[in-house]
Structure formats: C-alpha cells, structure tokens
Amino acid sequence: MKTQKRVPLTGTLIALIFGLSASAHADGAPPASPKVAGDFPTQASQLQSQLTQEKAKHRQHGYVAKTGVPQLPQPEAILVDPGGVNTWLRERGIAILLDNTNEMSGMLHRPTSGLGLKQGASNAGQYSLENDIDWERLAGIRGLATHAIIVGRYGIPASRMFGDNLNPSQEIYGSGGNVFVHLVFAYAEESLFSDRLAFAAGRMSFLSDFSANPLYCNFMNNAFCGNPKASSDNTAHASYPDANWAFRVRTRPTKDTILSFGVYLTQTQAIYGNAQMRTGFKFNGATIDGAAMPVEIAWTPNFGRHHQLPGHYKIGMAYDTADHKDNFYDGMNTPAALSGLPVRYDHGAWAAWGLADQMIYHYPGGAPDAGITLLGVTYFNQPETSTRWQQYSIGMLNRGFWKSRPLDAMGLNFTYMRVSPDLYRSQLLYQQQGMKLPNGSLFPQKNAYVFEAMYQIHVFRGITFAPDFQYFFNPGGMKPLKNQAMLGFKSHIELF
C-alpha cells in the first residue's frame, strides 16, 4: 500500500539554515589554482587539484588559446607531450586524460568475535579515461564543450570485514558493474556571456555537480571522498560512476558568487543494479521513477592583503519526487517490525547541505595552494527514508610547508555520522523479536565516528603516494562492535 506523505518543509528550512550557519563549499573549483570565471571542472580533473605548480608549467606551454569554453583540464602527467601529440590535440580543442587510482587498507586489530567477521586487508582501484572537447576550437561552435568519462573498477573496502556498513574505508570501489568499460557520464555544455551562464544536458552524475568539494579526494575514506557519504544515501542522487538523464544550469551573477540548479531524472530502484546500469550504456527510460531537483548557492572569496587566501562556501538543498521505503511504518501506519507487513513507500524526500573550505595561512613565496586550509561539512537527510540522517565533518589540509618538497601535503579529517532515529527504533524492535535486522546490520545503529590522517608524497611528475591511517569508533554505528584501526595507502598515477 502506498502512502502519500506531506514533505516536512519546516524541517527542510531548519536543515538549510543549520547548513548555512555551519559552513559551506564552492563551485567545485579548488583553491589550488586561479580559475577563469566559470571553470567547473569534471570529477576526474578535480582529483588533480593538489598539483598546482606543475599545472602552471603545463599552461606555459600555450596549448590552449582563449575561447568561449572554460579551459580544458590539464593535470600534471607522466607523459607531458609525447611526440607532440598533446600539443596537436589541444590546438584542436581536444583533451584526453588517462589515470589510475589505487587504495589499499588493512586492519590492525582483530574484529569482534562470534559474528563471522575476520581480520584482513583489501585493495580497491579504478582506471579512467576522460575526454573533453572544445567544439569552438574544433568546429567553430561558439561556447560548446562536451565531456565524457569511462572507468573500470576493481576490489572492495576492507571495512566490511569488521562490520562497518556506513563509512567505507576505500572510496574508489563499487557501482562499476564489474565490467572492463563503464560509462560514467557523457554530456554537452554551452557557455554564454563570457562564461557567466552555462547550460549542460546529457547523462550526468548528480553528485559530481552538487555538494562536491575536490579537496576531499585527497583523503581515502568514503565519508569524505568524493562527496560527504550522507549525500549518496538517497539513490535519487546519482553518484559517480553512475548517471541519469539530466539538465543543469549554472550562472555567475557576480565575480564571487555562483548559482546552480538542475533536474535529474531518477532511477532509485535501478541506479546501482546490474540489470540497468552495469555498463552505463543502457540509455532507455524504463526505470525512470521521478526527478531530483537540487539548487545550490556558492561564494568564492579571496581574503588577505594580496588575495592569497581563497575560500569556497556552498549551501544547497534538493527535493526528489521518487518513492522511498519508510524506515519504520507499514502501509497501515503501524510498525512494520511488529505487523510483519511490507514497509510503506513515502513519496518524495529532501536533503540539505553546507560545505566550506578556507585557506587560513599562505606560505610566503609558495604556490597558490601552499598553505593551511580548513574544511567543513554539514549534511541532512529526511530521517523517515534515509539511513544516514546527519553528517558533520571537520578537517585540515596543509600543503607546501616543506620548502624542499613543495608538492607534498598532510591532512587530518574527522566525521560524525548519525543514523536515522526511525531506522534505529525499527532495528530495536526486530532485535527484541530475534529477527534479522534491516539494512544488513548486526546490531541497531545509532552513530559512528571516523578519523583519518594522511601524508601525500609527490613521487614524480604525475605520481602521488599517500600513506593513510584511519580509526573507526562504533563501526557502522553499532556500539557492540570493537573500534578498529586501519593502515594503508592511496596512490594516483596520471599517465597523460
């Protein structure tokens, strides 16, 4: 039985206000380097934000002349210009990027005994190929660009071995369909009025466009990279590497402000399933069940005497029209755990968020991203239909502190994840009756904490290696599970 449910607008407004007061993040353009007015980089190119100095050297080669299209991504790479190929392609408005991200992590302590859990380690990774085309340069079509990414993924996160199901220890896993080639997205974007207005349409990932901060992908835990984990709790918000048919508008009313909104056709029951999304190339609308409509406001100031302290502040909210399983009630408005009836479906769900990063100190004489940057996140989901009700994170990224190694960085991050009280109450009822708990949990879930520390080593042009430490308090939000420490590394290789 389906129940139509009124959207709690009061709760939405409260969540949005809290998100604004707590802090926010900006346009997806990291403070690592100056960007043109509307430079909205893709997710793959965002991961290279830490390599500012080398990027500047590449730009000096003069590959890309000014057009109405924002500058094509040009990260640091092992092969700068093999045989002059990159120069030839970029003169014609074509950028091709090939990279690999690999993440390994292992447990330092034995997990809770008697539950079938085990101590171990695992590896996860992704190779990706990105293609960006400036059609103004290639074919004279003013302001038009296209963007496409395909990936292949492998491995699983080690945190599953000790029972965690909230904050995966390795973010670069899953939803790749277990195929050699998986289409992430493919869309066109038209930039107008010196890039003060941009329209995009095609196969697009909601969370590549909204509630995203590229600085978080310096870290490895999925609570931080590539979005706050609570953002992907609602499957109406398509998460990289999967996408929906979508339309998005971005406008820059002033130099330091950006307004973004969009419509993403949702596939909540199929978005991460092999039947519809395994390769990413199945474009039919058979499983479309609604639309997600996000809106976001960003402020991107530069503080300091010489404007050397960039900040990115973002607040946003979204509402979708899909149907979602209720965490507690059945179709008769009684606890499903007691009645044994199927849970009801609630129509529509909301989310609200705030993200921020702010450089508070710039190392004199260093690159634009050489300094100490603070990071912050607040995220709120509708508790009736979500697992992760609230998320709060605070962190720090420090780059350029070592003069002899200006591209090295260190970072700390801490997150608090609060599970929906409706889900917790339902799990308690199932536990009291000796029944299997929903959500694949071993115990009722309440709240969880994760701490991560990393040191990022710039090994060679286009290669970084980052030893990583993580500590899980209440894994999966389940207090009976032992806390767990993990040690591993994250590597990234940009071939070209």
CA–CA separation, 125 vs 63, rounded Å? 31
With cut-offs at 50, 70 and 90, classify the pLDDT of residue 277: confident
Q: Give the mean pLDDT of 81-88.
A: 92
Of residues 94, 184, 91, the one with CA closest to residue 145: 94
Give the single-character DSSP code of 138: H
Of the candidates 101, 102, 103, 95, the residue with the CA atom closest to the CA atom of residue 75: 95
- Distance in angstroms (rounded) separating the CA atoms of residues 90 and 63: 6
**Which pLDDT does position 9 carry in this prediction?**
38
The tokens for 209 are 């466009």
3-state SS, residue 286: coil
pLDDT at 42: 37
For tokens 């040191």, the residue is 455
Q: Which residues pair with 107 in a beta bridge?
A: 486
* Contact in structure between 237 and 271 (CB atoms under 8 Å): no
State the pLDDT at residue 281. 93
Q: How confident is the model at residue 60, as a pLDDT?
A: 37
Average pLDDT over residues 40-51: 37
Averaged pLDDT for residues 57-65: 41
Which are the contacts of 54, defined by CB distance < 8 A and separation ≥ 6? 76, 407, 461
Instruction: Tell me the C-alpha distance between 163 and 321, whole Å.
Output: 33
Mean pLDDT computed over 297-302: 97
Phi-psi region of 163 (alpha: psi -120 to 50; beta: other; left: phi over 0): left
Q: What average pLDDT does range 205-224 have in this prediction?
A: 95
- Which tens digit of pLDDT belongs to each residue from 23-34? 333 333 333 333
The answer to whether the peptide bond before residue 106 is cis (omega within 30 degrees of 0) is: no
**Model-level pTM?**
0.86
- Tell whether the model's pLDDT for residue 37 goes beyond 70: no
User: Who wins on pLDDT, 40 or 152?
Assistant: 152
Assign 53 a pLDDT band (cuts: 50, 70, 90): very low
Residue 22 has what pLDDT? 33
Q: What share of the chain is helix, strand, coil (3-state, %, to 5)?
A: 15, 40, 40
Average pLDDT over residues 281-295: 94
From the list 370, 369, 362, 371, the residue with the least C-alpha distance to 306 is: 362
CATH number at residue 489: 2.40.160.180
Distance, CA of 490 to CA of 192 (rounded, Å): 39
Give per-residue pLDDT as tens, 421-431.
999 999 999 99
Q: How confident is the model over 455-484, as a mean pLDDT?
A: 97
Q: Quote the CA–CA distance of 381 and 234 in Å, as a whole number.
A: 8
Q: Residue 443, SS3? A: coil
Region of 40 on the Ramachandran plot (φ > 0 left; ψ -120 to 50 alpha; else beta): beta
* pLDDT tens track for 311-328: 999 999 999 999 999 999
CB count within 10 Å of CB 165 equals: 18
Q: pLDDT-derived band of residue 199, with 50, 70 and 90 as boundaries?
A: very high
Q: Mean pLDDT across the chain, nearest whole number?
A: 87
289 Cβ neighbours under 8 A, 6+ residues apart: 266, 267, 268, 269, 322, 323
**Residue 176 binned pLDDT confidence (cut-offs 50, 70, 90):** confident
Count of domains observed in the chain:
1
Per-residue pLDDT at 17 exceeds 60: no
- pLDDT value of residue 25: 32
Q: Is 468 within 8 Å of 172 (Cβ atoms)? A: no
- Closest by Cα among 407, 413, 395, 412 to 370: 407
Backbone angles phi, psi at 98, to 5 degrees: -130, 125
Decide which of 410 and 273 is more confident. 410
Q: What is the mean pLDDT of residues 474-496?
A: 97
CA distance 385 to 343: 11
Contacts of 77 (CB under 8 A, 6+ apart): 97, 461, 462, 494, 495, 496
Buried b (16+ CB within 10 A) or exposed e, 414-424: bbebbbbebbb
Residue 34 is predicted with a pLDDT of 30
Rounded CA gap, 285 and 281, in Å? 12
The pLDDT-based confidence of 46 (bands split at 50, 70, 90) is: very low
pLDDT value of position 259 = 98
The dihedral through the CA atoms of 109, 106, 442, 475 has a sign that is positive
Which pLDDT value is given to residue 342? Answer: 94
C-beta separation of 221 from 172 below 8 A: no
pLDDT for the residue numbered 19: 35
pLDDT value, residue 274: 82
pLDDT of 489 reads 98
Provide the residue range defining the domain that includes 471. Answer: 2-494
Average pLDDT over residues 62-78: 78
**For 357-389, what is each residue's pLDDT tens digit?**
999 999 999 999 999 999 999 999 999 999 999
> Tokens 């000790």 identify what position?
162
